[in-house]
Amino acid sequence: MKPIKLNADMGESFGPWVMGLDHEVMPFVDLANIACGFHASDPDVMRRTVQMAKQHSVSIGAHPAYPDLVGFGRRSMACSPGEIETLVLYQLGALAGICRAEGIEVCYVKPHGALYNDMAKNPEIFNAVARAVLAFDPALPLMTLATRDTTPIRQLADEQGIALWFEAFADRAYDAEGHLVSRSKAGAVHHAPETILEQAKRIATGQPLTASDGSDLVLDADTLCVHGDNEESIAAVRAIREMLNALKESS
């Protein structure tokens, strides 16, 4: 079993509106994907989240999105590749400035929501995001979805000269190709802690998941995404952390 890191989307509150239990999730994860103001967050939230990550020795990733606060970045937008490149670069710069003030650095990039999904399916959008990351810091890995066949996106990354981290989700259902089932469909999001823990263990140990059509699906992932917006999900995050630590000790 290769090591797998836990990541979570963080800093998605906005002003007085609170999203997620970041302070309860942060102690259990390795990577914090911090919203950069386009789908969620504001400068104060970003800085507090960066400070919290630093306190817990959690690596920081930029979590850029389409400029869609109302839709929480979950709606595709008709942005040109050039616009996408620039908006990703803008968000990277915003988070990097706050990180510099706190004496730490951005370590990777994970696009959010619709931009993440569009990047995984559209080579022009992938290349636009990659160009932004490379222009900012060629050493930064780009996080993307672990699917059944990652050959096409690996080829794009090789052409651009950018490193990839493949991500899987403990609490989401998958289709036969390894893409996430749309949130608009029933059963797209797992809520039972035991289901989330079992899926996390299968991903971490290379065992097959059951896709939405009933087929076996094996995902080769570098990192596992977890969410923490209620007490049940926090319990699941804690259990996944304990499970991964136990697997590490026994290997």
What are the tens digits of pLDDT across the range 105-142?
A: 999 999 999 999 999 999 999 999 999 999 999 999 99
Average pLDDT estimate for 48-74: 97
pLDDT value of residue 217: 97
**pLDDT digit string, tens, across residues 137-170:** 999 999 999 999 999 999 999 999 999 999 999 9
**pLDDT digit string, tens, across residues 220-236:** 999 999 987 777 788 88
Structure-model confidence comparison of residues 148 and 249, the more confident one: 148
pLDDT value of residue 250: 84
CA angle 57, 62, 67 (to 5 degrees): 150
pLDDT value of residue 60: 98
pLDDT value of residue 128: 98
CATH architecture of 5-172+222-228: Alpha-Beta Barrel (3.20)
pLDDT value of residue 183: 85
Report how far apart, in Å, the C-alpha atoms of 91 and of each of 36, 37, 172 are. 5, 7, 27
pLDDT grade for 46, boundaries at 50, 70 and 90? very high
pLDDT value of residue 81: 98
pLDDT value of residue 104: 98
Model pTM score:
0.95
Residue closest to 22 by CA, chosen among 229, 170, 225, 173? 229
C-alpha 171/C-alpha 209 separation (Å) is 12
What residues contact residue 213 under an 8 Å CB cut-off, 6+ apart? 175, 176
| Residue 6: exposure state from Cβ atoms within 10 A (0-12, 13-18, ≥19) | buried
Residue 83, pLDDT > 90, answer yes
pLDDT value of residue 1: 65
pLDDT value of residue 184: 86
- CA 91 centroid distance within chain: 15
Residue 75, pLDDT > 90, answer yes
Domain ranges of the chain: 5-172+222-228
Task: Assess contact for 57 and 33: CB atoms under 8 A.
Answer: no
pLDDT grade for 77, boundaries at 50, 70 and 90? very high
Which residues of the chain form beta strands (DSSP E)? 5-10, 31-35, 59-63, 106-109, 142-145, 164-169, 209-210, 216-217, 223-226
% of the chain beyond a pLDDT of 90: 88
Helices 231-250 and 193-204 pack at an angle, to 10 degrees, of 30
